[in-house]
Amino acid sequence: MIEFRGVSKLFPDGTLAVDDFSLVIPSRKTTVFVGSSGSGKTTLLRMINRMVDTTSGTIEIDGQPTTALEAVALRRSIGYVMQNSGLLPHLRVVDNVATVPVLNGVPKKEAREAALVLLDTVGLDRSLAERYPSQLSGGQQQRVGVARGLAANPNILLMDEPFGAVDPIVRSELQVELIRLQRDLDKTIVFVTHDIDEAFLLGDQVVILEKGGVIAQVGSPTEILTAPANEFVATFIGAERGKRALSIQKTATGDILVDSEGRAAGVLVQQSEGVVR
């Protein structure tokens, strides 16, 4: 469990990125921070592993303040995946994945073997292990980034718009992979995105942020869609108009769902079973 208590961040240039922010992030669930730029979502994420220091307030991980550990030790215990993968260009894929375990004192040979297993986990062929990051596609690099984030077997995985720079097809592939991974690994994932569709797809808990880290609404995708807390949320998720405001229209060939513009968006089918999050 990660708990923000009255956290504020004032940057030296006078920007108040986050003001008196409080939130509980449950363990073994995916929490998604979603908001437009300037909403402080990345700042919030980076405060968890102290890449950004809080100006006031505390952040606790399982009841222990993040300041109890040295920043370097804290960061090694938390996985981090960033937008451009952030791989070290001069190291081979396998050594990139093994970086943190090696820093932690795991013998190199052992760490490399564990890294190969992790490549399997994230769905990468082992033949890529000896390549350099620049020889991989954007999607493959992102997978290596995820494998590296998992290498020290952290409980918490921070993901800062990890799929923001890949094309839509690869992005949806990676999203499906992440859902599969999370089912197997049961990590506490904190995910940052500006894409509300991605937030609803991945998040067990979605946190919609307004400017300056103000929480507009926290809840499951279902809760947010069925009961947007305010005008801002409704507009942001497009509940009132656009592709989420669907209505049934009867046609000669059957019923279809149309969006607010009257365009066909889909059909209504009977779901045998399944739980909506």
Q: Which of 67, 99, 155, 260 binds another protein (CB under 8 A)?
A: 99
Q: Which of 100, 129, 150, 237 binds another protein (CB under 8 A)?
A: 100
What's the CA gap between 6 and 124, in Å, rounded? 41
How big is the CA angle at 256 (ends 253 and 257), to the nearest 5 degrees?
170
Question: For the chain, where are the alpha helices, taking DSSP H only?
Answer: 41-48, 71-76, 93-103, 108-121, 138-150, 168-185, 196-202, 221-226, 231-237
Region near another protein per CB under 8 A, out of 118-126, 131-139, 250-258, 264-272:
131-139
Region near another protein per CB under 8 A, out of 56-64, 66-74, 236-244, 259-267:
66-74
Check residue 49 for interaction with another protein (CB under 8 A). yes
Question: How many residues of this chain bind another protein (CB under 8 A)?
Answer: 36
Q: What number of H helices and E strands is found in the chain?
A: 9, 13
Q: Which of 41, 143, 148, 187 binds another protein (CB under 8 A)?
A: 148
Q: How far is CA 168 from CA 8, 58, 198, 212, in A?
A: 34, 37, 11, 29
Check residue 146 for interaction with another protein (CB under 8 A). no
Q: Which of 51, 106, 246, 258 binds another protein (CB under 8 A)?
A: 51
Among 39, 5, 8, 42, residue whose Cα is nearest residue 25: 5
Q: How far is the CB of 183 from another protein (least distance, A)?
A: 25
Q: How far is CA 241 from CA 98, 247, 263, in A?
A: 47, 11, 12
Number of Cβ atoms within 10 Å of the Cβ of 203: 24
Region near another protein per CB under 8 A, out of 76-84, 108-116, 191-199, 221-229:
76-84
Check residue 133 for interaction with another protein (CB under 8 A). yes
What's the CA gap between 123 and 177, in Å, rounded? 8
Q: Which of 84, 121, 175, 220 binds another protein (CB under 8 A)?
A: 84
Q: Which residues bind another protein (CB under 8 A)?
A: 46, 49, 51, 72-77, 80, 82, 84-92, 99-100, 103, 131-138, 148, 165-167, 170
